[in-house]
A and B are shown apart, each in its own frame.
Chain A
């Protein structure tokens, strides 16, 4: 009987312990995998304060700077600006259908040594991404 109770207690402790550990790990993973949405000037600032590690994924939003777009060795280069600061972006892949200089853009990727390496590029108001409001209210 006593052995049985001991076993039960052990089981309960095991459950509590592992669930605390589990929740802790999940929250840790969540916190370290958030994609922060920043503008170029915010990103430059946070870089000076070393808030972001080079592994943090960032969503950088702004305008594609006029005359900054060129292609070099299959890699697309352009600058994203918020009219205060601008950041050079390098991207390998297809640009969305609505990509254009002087238009709004969101790029997802990592910021390293002053250059933003984009994994994905979304045009703002890209209708494939946000369908227009066509509803009758």
Chain B
């Protein structure tokens, strides 16, 4: 019964959202504020209905209502409540439900936190958000409904969610990521409302900048969580695989990062408005594209949901429909939008604009990497895939040049041309310092690959430049944007940690039986014992390895697990976390001679990669908190 109520409420909310959209666009033509007053109220009504519907669904998952087909397939009565709830977004239908809910939540946030004194297009913005919610709701209700029942009786215990997905980081990773993806609906809707209004003299984008920043924070943390999970759970010891599904999350992140910077410019000096509009549309388009790639099943991946062409077609059609109007309006009014201020050469705007080109190039590269194998496979016989070497080779130089322009921009002035020579002169001392410190670091790392030299150099350059700025502002007591400094230092740390990780990390595979001792770098590893242990939903072969070097001794317990319900076998790594490096161990199969294959890795600075992401997000938090954005 509750299931039917939840279904009915979801259905009703779709009607309310459609009504909200229609009404919002009446308010355009009639231009009467009497109608537009109702728009947000109707939106709130629709959202409340939808939230209730979702909460009822959560309730059904908690009480183990296994007559609901979706819950029966993805939850189990033995799971803790936390995983019962997270099982809702462990597969296509339920995660789509969460997705829809989050769109409407962003709409609510917009209504609550918008700048009440100035917002210009807010009824129309809300109208467009309603349209997006309604489109996804129709998809949810008619193509991938989580509300189906299996009657007359359900399954006694339910199924089991995939064991590798039973993990706290992974349980909160999708909601985080969805908040990040979907937050771009606000700039998208806002910009669309702006384009529809036809009044291009005023571009009040400053009103939504804090929404863009918070979206970006969610996305950054969401991606970092996913990477952390992959590192410890998949047993490969990598943190980023350039997997197509990781890539589709990175694309909106790159576009969003570019958007963050142009919004800064556009709200300050009325420059780069075309960029801001374009990026607002693109960031959301890429989020939709991500949903399409993951849910249409055209790519096999760790993350992809099952394959169903109707879903893909609907999603593609819907995305094209939602995005085409703003793109056409943008293209049609290009000359009017361009008519505003011209950017002065080598001004701050100039450098930010140039870096936008690099961000878009990065997006394009990923897009190429995803679609090229698909095209080749569809239209010729050869089957190829684009792996990490391509991305690494192309992204490294792109990151370096972006970093260089970032540092130049810190020497430039708003709306004023400074000759490049001047910039070079004033940055000379920082460059000299960077060269010195980089030489020292590279000497100690003792690896002379071009990407390592570049990574260390440009990472150092940014860090030193911002340290100089901080010192400068402390001495002169001048105004200083701490949030931006922190975020950029985080970015530099990310470059440095990725480079050092790639240069220093190493691994060895041993074949050992109990009692064996091997040497790996400074550690002596002893295989102490291996035993079979029974747990509530799996049995595991748990090994015990003793690591000792001159200074300390520690034990690690990698496992091989077999889950009862589906018989899946998983490899559980064990990790010793030290400040500069992780020791990461996994065990493999037992061979016919009784020995076990053991893989040991030393992963340097891998923690710093995620810490950098957190620092970047903290920087963004500081920028939001400052309210005045300039």
Residues of A with Cβ closer than 8 Å to B? Answer: 11, 22, 25-26, 29-30, 33-37, 57, 59, 71, 74-76, 92-95, 97-99, 108, 127-131, 133-137
Contact = CB atoms under 8 A, between A and B. Distances in A.
Contacts of B390: 29-30, 33-34
Contacts of B74: 134
The 6 closest A-B pairs by CB, nearest first: A33-B390, A37-B383, A135-B306, A94-B588, A97-B569, A34-B384
A94 B148 CA distance: 42
A81 to B, nearest CB: 19
Nearest to B388: A33
Describe A's contact surface by its main secondary structure. Answer: loop
Given A33-B389, A71-B511, 5 more contacts: A26-B394, A76-B597, A93-B599, A94-B588, A94-B597
A72 B570 CA distance: 25
A108 B383 CA distance: 13
A30 B386 contact: yes
Contacts of A98: 569
B369, B384, B569, B595: residue with the most chain A Cβ atoms closer than 10 Å: B384
A17 B507 CA distance: 43
Describe B's contact surface by its main secondary structure. Answer: mixed
Contacts of B70: 136
Interface in B344-382: 345, 361, 365, 368-369, 372-373, 382
Contact of B384 (A35, A130, A134): A35
A37 B394 contact: no
Interface in B566-605: 568-571, 586-589, 591, 593, 595, 597, 599
A10 B159 CA distance: 66
Given A74-B509, A95-B588, A33 B386 contact: yes
A94 B384 contact: no
B234 A99 contact: no
B26 interface: no
B91 interface: yes
A32 to B, nearest CB: 8
B508 interface: yes
Contacts of B507: 93
Contacts of A37: 382-385
Contact of A137 (B162, B308, B365, B383): B308
Contacts of A128: 164, 234, 302, 568, 570
6 contacts: A11-B345, A29-B394, A34-B384, A37-B384, A95-B589, A128-B568
A136 B159 contact: no
A122 to B, nearest CB: 11
A25, A74, A75: residue with the most chain B Cβ atoms closer than 10 Å: A74
Interface residue tally on B, bucketed by range: 35 or more
Nearest to A15: B357
Contacts, number: 106
B365 A26 contact: yes
B368 A30 contact: yes
B77 interface: no
Nearest to A128: B164
B508 A108 contact: no
A36 B568 contact: no
B386 to A, nearest CB: 6
B500 to A, nearest CB: 21
B588 A136 contact: no
A70 to B, nearest CB: 9
Nearest to A55: B389
Contacts of A71: 511, 591, 593, 595, 597
B73 A134 contact: yes
Given A128-B570, A134-B91, A92 B148 contact: no
Interface string B93-112: 10000000000000000000
Nearest to A75: B509
A136 B569 CA distance: 24
A135 B385 contact: no
B234 A92 contact: no
B92, B361, B393: residue with the most chain A Cβ atoms closer than 10 Å: B393
A94 B510 CA distance: 10
B300 interface: yes
Contacts of B589: 95, 99
B235 interface: yes
Contacts of A135: 73, 91-93, 305-306, 308
A136 B91 CA distance: 11
A47 B74 CA distance: 47
B92, B365, B390: residue with the most chain A Cβ atoms closer than 10 Å: B390
B19 interface: no
A108 to B, nearest CB: 7
A26 B308 CA distance: 33
A11, A76, A94, A99: residue with the most chain B Cβ atoms closer than 10 Å: A94
A31 to B, nearest CB: 9
A95 B511 CA distance: 12
Interface in B132-168: 148, 159, 162, 164
A74 to B, nearest CB: 5
Contacts of B569: 97-98
A110 B508 CA distance: 19
A37 B307 CA distance: 22
Contacts of A26: 361, 365, 368, 394
B300 A97 contact: no
Contacts of B69: 136
B300 A130 contact: yes
Interface string B62-101: 0000000110011000000000000000011100000000
Interface string B44-76: 000000000000000000000000011001100
A55 to B, nearest CB: 10
B302 A129 contact: yes
Nearest to B510: A74
B582 to A, nearest CB: 17
A74 B560 CA distance: 20
Contacts of B307: 133
A7 B101 CA distance: 53
Contact of B162 (A35, A76, A92, A131): A131
Contacts of A133: 306-307
